[in-house]
Structure formats: structure tokens, C-alpha cells
């Protein structure tokens, strides 16, 4: 009887674990269903966002966006702002949690607002290291979050210290290798969806000095990023051969407007086997 009871308890425990796994998978599928190609209703290029001015409610320019720090899943964690200096020399840098900004994109232009003044921003914690490694220090990040108060109309989100500093400026120059360690291109652009999450990387292949180069959109989820802590350089890895990339769907140079053609984003997802769901 004792043995039978133990067997029943063991079977029950296995059943609970199995059902828990099914529930977690269903939840992940539900979250994935929210990420559709319909989110890409405009071409939101990261390179254009990096050129944007940061304005306040009085329409005063208070800083420049110098860089963005991404999480591995593609969400923006921090905007790196700069004040002063000439051509980047002598500038002062600050990290502001991304959810403190009000961001709009229309007709290819970004409007970035931060509800503060130039003087208040100038008193925020400053970077000691221009490679932004301070973001890996919990004590320094805690000072940042205590300085910038959450927006009253938003739920506060504190990304905290990061384990890797995935800089947009480094991502846009990252070399692309395949799993055989072959050079197969380089990342030249990131495209964001309406929630400002990276969903596609544009890969440049071939050509000389950009002339004759072809552009391949790759789902962000299909890239594995290798990070160098010393230089913050990034190498992107993709599980694809040179031949597979040569036959992948292409986008037009510069505008990448092909991504908005009906069904094209879904075609890209299917080609690379992305689990990101696509709209009909």
C-alpha cells in the first residue's frame, strides 16, 4: 500500500509539472501572438532616432540622443544623452530609462520629449566611462533610478543594471557570421516596431563602399549576439549558410519600404523560420 501511494504521488507530481509546462508554453505563445508584422506600420530606423534632438515641454532642446542600450530581446532599456562638447569632444553623457520619454514617429521623423530642464538633466549621474560600463554597476544604476522619478501616468519599470551593454551604435556596425564562423555580411540598420522594439536587422552583403550592396532583412529573434566587454563591440551570429542568405528576400536600398508591402514581413519570417507571428 505504501509503495502504491508513493507511485501515485510520483505520477501526480509528474502530471502537475507537465501541466505547468503546457501553461507556460501557452502563455509564451500568447505573448508571441502580440508581436505581429502589423506592428511594423512605418519604417522606424534606429539610425534616424540616433540623430534626434531631445526636447522638453517648453519646446527647448535639452540634449542629443547619443546612443541607445538594448536588452537581448530587442527592447530599449536606456537612452544615452549628451550635452555640450564639440563634435562629441568634451560632451557629458547621461543614461535615462527609456520609459521616461515620450516618443512619436511620423513621416520618417522622430519627436523625442523628456519632461525636465537642461539644468536638471545636467545634475543627473554622469558616465565615468564613455563605453557606458557604468550601466553594469548596480550601485550606479540605482542612483540613476532614484534621480529620475517615474512618469506619473505610467507604471514604473526599472530595468536595473545590465549584464551586457548592447549599444545601437555598435549593433549598426556589427559583423555578421554564420555558425561556421564565415563572414556573411554586416548589420547596417535596425528597424523598430510601434512599441520601439527591434524586430528586424538589415544585413548588408557584397558591394564596395556601399555600391552594389544588397540588403537582407533578418528577424531579430534569429540573431545571437556575441559581446566584447572590453570594447563593447558586437558580433552577430546567424544559423544560415551564405547560399541561404543570397536567396533570402531583399529590401530596397535606403528606405527599406519593401518591408511595408502586404505580406512581405511574413515572407521574411517564414524564410528564416522565425517564431514571431505574422499578420495575414
Q: Which residues of 54-72 are buried (b: 16+ CB within 10 A; e: fewer)?
A: bbbeeeeebbbbbbbbbbe
Q: Write down the pLDDT at residue 36.
A: 54
Global model pTM greater than 0.75:
yes
Instruction: Return d(Cα 228, Cα 277) in angstroms, integer.
Output: 32
Residue 263 gets the label, from left (phi > 0), alpha (psi -120 to 50) or beta, of: left
> Could you tell me which residues come within 8 angstroms of residue 106 by beta carbon, excluding any fewer than 6 positions away?
42
For residue 105, the number of C-alpha atoms closer than 13 Å in the C-beta half-sphere is 18
Q: Enumerate domains of the chain plus CATH numbers.
A: 44-166 (2.30.30.240), 172-272 (2.30.30.240)
Query: What are the CA-CA distances from residue 259 to residues 21, 47, 265 (Å)?
Result: 35, 17, 6
- In this prediction, residue 280 carries a pLDDT of 37
The whole-number pLDDT of residue 101 equals 94
Distance CA 74, CA 157 (A): 16
Contact 275, 234 (CB under 8 A): no
The distance of Cα 84 from the centroid of its chain, to the nearest Å, equals: 27
> Which segments in the chain show pLDDT lower than 70?
1-38, 86-88, 150-158, 207-212, 276-280
Beta bridge partners of 223: 238
Distance CA 218, CA 201 (A): 5
Q: What is the pLDDT of residue 89?
A: 74
| Angle 161-163-169 from CA coordinates, rounded to 5° | 95
What are the tens digits of pLDDT across the range 55-91?
A: 999 999 999 999 999 999 999 999 999 998 766 678 8
Hey, is 203 helix, strand or coil? Answer: strand
Tens of pLDDT, residue by residue over 127-147, are 888 889 899 999 999 999 989
As a whole number of angstroms, the distance between CA 237 and CA 182 comes to 10
Question: How far is Cα of residue 95 from the mean position of the Cα atoms in its chain?
Answer: 16
Query: What is the model's pLDDT at position 41?
Result: 86
Amino acid at each position: 500500500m505504501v509503495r502504491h501511494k508513493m507511485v501515485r504521488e510520483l505520477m501526480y507530481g509528474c502530471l502537475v509539472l507537465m501541466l505547468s509546462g503546457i501553461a507556460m508554453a501557452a502563455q509564451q505563445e500568447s505573448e508571441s501572438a502580440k508581436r505581429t508584422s502589423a506592428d511594423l506600420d512605418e519604417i522606424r530606423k534606429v539610425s534616424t532616432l540616433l540623430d534626434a534632438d531631445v526636447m522638453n515641454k517648453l519646446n527647448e532642446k535639452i540634449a542629443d540622443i547619443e546612443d541607445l542600450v538594448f536588452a537581448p530581446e530587442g527592447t530599449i532599456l536606456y537612452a544615452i544623452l549628451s550635452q555640450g562638447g564639440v563634435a562629441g569632444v568634451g560632451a557629458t553623457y547621461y543614461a535615462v530609462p527609456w520609459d521616461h520619454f515620450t516618443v512619436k514617429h511620423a513621416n520618417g521623423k522622430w519627436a523625442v520629449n523628456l519632461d525636465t530642464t537642461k539644468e536638471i538633466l545636467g545634475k543627473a549621474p554622469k558616465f565615468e566611462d564613455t563605453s557606458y560600463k557604468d550601466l553594469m554597476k548596480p550601485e550606479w544604476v540605482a542612483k540613476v533610478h532614484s534621480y529620475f522619478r517615474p512618469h506619473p501616468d505610467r507604471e514604473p519599470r526599472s530595468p536595473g543594471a545590465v549584464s551586457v551593454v548592447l549599444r545601437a551604435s555598435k549593433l549598426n556596425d556589427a559583423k555578421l557570421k554564420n555558425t561556421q564562423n564565415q563572414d556573411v555580411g554586416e548589420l547596417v540598420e535596425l528597424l523598430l516596431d510601434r512599441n520601439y522594439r527591434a524586430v528586424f536587422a538589415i544585413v548588408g552583403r557584397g558591394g564596395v563602399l556601399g555600391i552594389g550592396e544588397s540588403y537582407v532583412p533578418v528577424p531579430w529573434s534569429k540573431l545571437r549576439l556575441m559581446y566584447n566587454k572590453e570594447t563593447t563591440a558586437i558580433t552577430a551570429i546567424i544559423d544560415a549558410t551564405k547560399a541561404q542568405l543570397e536567396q533570402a528576400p531583399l529590401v530596397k536600398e535606403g528606405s527599406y519600404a519593401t518591408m511595408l508591402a502586404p505580406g512581405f514581413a511574413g515572407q521574411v519570417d517564414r524564410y528564416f523560420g522565425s517564431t514571431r507571428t505574422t499578420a495575414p
